[in-house]
Structure 1
Amino acid sequence: MAKVRALPQRKKVAPLDTPTDLKPEGVAAISKALNALLADTFALYVKTKNFHWHVSGPHFRDYHLLLDEQAAQIFATTDDIAERVRKIGGMTLRSIGQIASLKRVEDNDADYVPPLEMLRELMNDNKAFATNLREAHEACEKYEDFATASLIENWIDETERRTWFLFEASRGADRSGH
């Protein structure tokens, strides 16, 4: 009778353990940076939509459309960020609670915010977001995740464009947005 050899023991792979050539410490660092960006993205999206819904005054139409366009652009990045975390083998956000605990964008729940203050606040939020994107880019470079770094470069460009538009729309305006 032939002798049957036992198969070598294999490490059990978790059902969501996406294979990657990145080192585990790279996956952890980049996933952490991207999840913070994802939380910021959701917070910035909601804040931009809040201001879009509540803007008023003589430039209502222009500001309303500008903020809607910017909110759509911000929201469009959420899936790309989350899927990038999964592609490199990380786990992404699962709840509003996680978003709230990781976000660095401050809420503005005021009943009324003058249009100029809305634009300036969003301009500053976008500037801070660009800084956070650059920090995440540094983590990608450190661990040689060139694909994520490339995506972040595009997101920086989009964020700088939003910042520029908000700056120009608020330049020389009085508090009411005139």
Structure 2
Amino acid sequence: MKPNIGINEADRKAVSDQLSKLLADEFVLYTKTRNAHWNIEGPDFHSMHIFFEEQYGQLDELMDSVAERIRKIGHYAPATLAQFLQLTHLTEKSDSKNDSQGFLKELLEDHESIIEFIRGNINPFATEYNDAGTSDFITGLMETHEGMAWMLRSHFR
């Protein structure tokens, strides 16, 4: 049964398409954060290992909430690696040498890219697609990414 939530099918599809890109970005960032957790080396190994674990834990929750939002508005969430790599704005490639500074810089850039993508969708979701709920939802996601980016950025000061 199709949702009867006051948003027409074309608008729900447009929102779902953008949320699918966001989900792909979240998944790629999650994977890159897991990589940092697993492969970090150096004198700050222990503290960074724990830090990256906290970050990927937050990202796991974000991914689930984005997928569930897609389902709430009546569409299926992408769920394969091929789909994620096709939809993501991020690059899977890592230039890091398994040191904290390299991982931190790369992850920070990805968070900031996601923040910009989300920010660019807040108003269109509400005004063009009549979906204030998803607009509000992604505003919260943006704030979470801003907090995570702050934690990453703070390592450089």
Structure number, greater radius of gyration: 1
Alpha carbons 1:35, 1:93 under 8 Å: kept: yes
2:132 matched residue in structure 1: 146
1:68 to 53, 58, 62: 53
Alpha-carbon distance in 2 for matches of 1:110, 1:125: 13
Alpha carbons 2:126, 2:134 under 8 Å: kept: no
Percent of pairs with identical residues = 29
Q: Alpha carbon RMSD of aligned pairs, Å?
A: 1.7
| Equivalent pairs, count | 156
Unaligned runs of 5+ in 2: none
| Secondary structure of 1:113 counterpart | coil
1:159 to 137, 145, 157: 145
2:122 matched residue in structure 1: 137
1:30 to 1, 12, 15: 15
Aligned partner of 1:124: which letter?
E
Q: In proportion to residue count, which structure has more helix?
A: 2
Alpha-carbon distance in 1 for matches of 2:81, 2:88: 10
1:29-64 C-alpha deviation (Å, 9 max, x unpaired): 100110000000110000001011111111112211
Alpha-carbon distance in 1 for matches of 2:156, 2:48: 10
TM-score by length of 2: 0.91
TM-score by length of 1: 0.81
Alignment of 1:29-108 (within 5 A): 29-108=14-93
Deviates more, 1:87-96 or 1:47-56: 87-96
Alpha carbons 2:19, 2:66 under 8 Å: kept: yes
